[in-house]
């Protein structure tokens, strides 16, 4: 029996539609500022998509494009100016930054109420303490997809494979908020396969192509694959294909539900970013959050 495919692309499109309806219900138009430094091709693609969807949902997009030669102090000044601009509700600094620029210092300048990526220390602290705030986009998308597949997550055993500050750790806290019993597994975990096989919800986020085999998965488990890895194409020499951290073709015969790569978690990141921009606008202006995007 084949696993149910969790269609992240369709869910993200629905979420963007709900964000668009929420924007119409607000007293004013929210705005998202994106800071892009340098000429990294992948970053340009990501930013172009973010700007496109921001406009499609009825929000205003603000761009700050800077050369790779910009000094760190100049970049910090740009972020601080956006903090001080009442017309800006969300700030996103596209990563990675060019060599020589300290991304930690730059991200730290973003005001937590405008931190739509949920990456600042203040945002992380709010999440850890269970206080209201803007949550990291990719982990939020993981929880949304798991809830869509399983419904109430209360009491589920959730294993997060990976302990990064971008995905692993915040994902663990977000699943804990859903009353899951959470384990963070990593490269030093003993009996790693057995730990993963205990999961009702398995969230691999390590960046190792097809590391998780079918034998690592509990029959009927929900698998949310965060990994996006470029590997050489077997059928097309010289070309590449995208695979996740899970060996998808063999996993579908064991899992109950699973996200594909591409088309799973990836599309959720931008959709959750747009949702965060609306939440940020409501937070800053004292507006009630529209029910259509409230909660996870």
Q: Which of 269, 281, 194, 191 is nearest to 224 (CA)?
A: 269
Q: How many CB atoms lie within 10 A of CB 5?
A: 16
User: Using CA of residue 83, residue 275, residue 28, residue 49, what is the dihedral sign?
Assistant: positive
Residue 1 has what pLDDT? 66
- Tell me the backbone φ, ψ of residue 177, rounded to 5 degrees: -60, -25
Residues 141 and 241 both lie in one domain = yes
Q: What is the pLDDT of residues 64-120, one digit of tens each?
A: 999 999 999 999 999 999 999 999 999 999 999 999 999 999 999 999 999 999 999
Inside any domain, residue 289: no
Residues 144 and 259 both lie in one domain = yes
Residue 111 or residue 237, greater confidence: 111
Inside any domain, residue 198: yes
* Predicted confidence band of residue 217 (pLDDT cuts 50, 70, 90): very high
Q: What percent of the chain has pLDDT over 70?
A: 100
Residues 102 and 36 both lie in one domain = yes
Residues 157 and 72 both lie in one domain = no
What's the structural domain count of the chain? 2
Q: Residues 197-213: what's their mean pLDDT?
A: 97
Residue 234 has what pLDDT? 81
Question: What CATH number is associated with residue 247?
Answer: 3.40.50.720
Q: Spot the catalytic one: 50, 156, 169, 218.
A: 50
Q: What is the pLDDT of residues 11-47, one digit of tens each?
A: 999 999 999 999 999 999 999 999 999 999 889 999 9
Q: What is the pLDDT of residues 152-168, one digit of tens each?
A: 999 999 999 999 999 99
Residues 104 and 149 both lie in one domain = no
Q: Spot the catalytic one: 113, 115, 117, 245.
A: 117
Q: Residues 259-282: what's their mean pLDDT?
A: 97
Inside any domain, residue 31: yes
Residues 173 and 94 both lie in one domain = no
| Domain edge (last residue) among 98, 113, 128 | 113
Residues 84 and 170 both lie in one domain = no
Domain, as residue range, for 229: 137-266
Inside any domain, residue 273: no
The pTM assigned to this predicted structure is 0.95
For residue 266, pLDDT beyond 80: yes
Residues 174 and 91 both lie in one domain = no
| Measured distance CA(175)–CA(214) in Å, rounded | 23
| Measured distance CA(245)–CA(141) in Å, rounded | 17
Residues 38 and 97 both lie in one domain = yes
Residues 79 and 169 both lie in one domain = no
Please tell me whether residue 163 adopts helix, strand or coil conformation.
coil
* Predicted confidence band of residue 55 (pLDDT cuts 50, 70, 90): very high
Residues 96 and 155 both lie in one domain = no
Residue 257 has what pLDDT? 98
Q: How many CB atoms lie within 10 A of CB 122?
A: 18
For residue 231, pLDDT beyond 70: yes
Inside any domain, residue 271: no
| Measured distance CA(101)–CA(199) in Å, rounded | 39
Inside any domain, residue 278: no
Active site residue 4: no
Question: What CATH number is associated with residue 65?
Answer: 3.40.50.10860
Inside any domain, residue 279: no
Q: Spot the catalytic one: 94, 115, 156, 178.
A: 94
Q: Residues 231-246: what's their mean pLDDT?
A: 90
Residues 86 and 146 both lie in one domain = no
* Predicted confidence band of residue 235 (pLDDT cuts 50, 70, 90): confident
Q: Please, what is the average pLDDT of the chain?
A: 96
Active site residue 29: no
Inside any domain, residue 95: yes
Active site residue 117: yes
């Amino acid at each position: 029996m084949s696993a149910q495919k969790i269609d992240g692309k369709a869910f993200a499109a629905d979420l963007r539609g709900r964000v668009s309806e929420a924007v119409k219900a607000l007293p004013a138009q929210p705005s998202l500022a994106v800071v892009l430094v340098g000429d990294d091709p992948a970053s340009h693609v990501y930013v172009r998509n973010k700007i496109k969807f921001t406009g499609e949902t009825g929000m205003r997009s603000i761009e700050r494009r800077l050369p790779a030669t910009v000094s760190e102090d100049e970049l910090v000044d740009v972020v601080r100016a956006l903090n001080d601009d009442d017309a800006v509700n969300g700030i996103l600094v596209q990563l990675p930054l060019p060599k020589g620029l300290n991304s930690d210092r730059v991200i730290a300048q973003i005001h937590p109420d405008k931190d739509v990526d949920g990456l600042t220390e203040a945002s992380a602290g709010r999440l850890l303490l269970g206080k209201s705030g803007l949550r990291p986009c990719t982990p939020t998308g993981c929880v949304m997809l798991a809830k869509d597949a399983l419904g109430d997550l209360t009491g589920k055993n959730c294993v997060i494979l990976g302990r990064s500050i971008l995905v692993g750790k915040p994902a663990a806290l977000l699943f804990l908020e859903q009353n899951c019993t959470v384990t963070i597994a990593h490269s030093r975990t003993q009996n790693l396969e057995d730990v993963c096989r205990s999961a009702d919800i398995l969230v691999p986020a390590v960046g190792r192509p097809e590391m998780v085999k079918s034998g690592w998965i509990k029959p009927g488990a929900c698998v949310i694959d965060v990994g996006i890895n470029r590997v050489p194409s077997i059928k097309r020499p010289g070309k590449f294909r995208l695979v996740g951290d899970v060996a998808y073709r063999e996993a579908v015969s064991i899992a109950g539900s699973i996200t594909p790569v591409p088309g799973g978690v990836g599309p959720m990141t931008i959709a959750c970013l747009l949702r965060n921009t609306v939440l940020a606008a409501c937070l800053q202006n004292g507006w009630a959050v529209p029910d259509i995007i409230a909660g996870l």
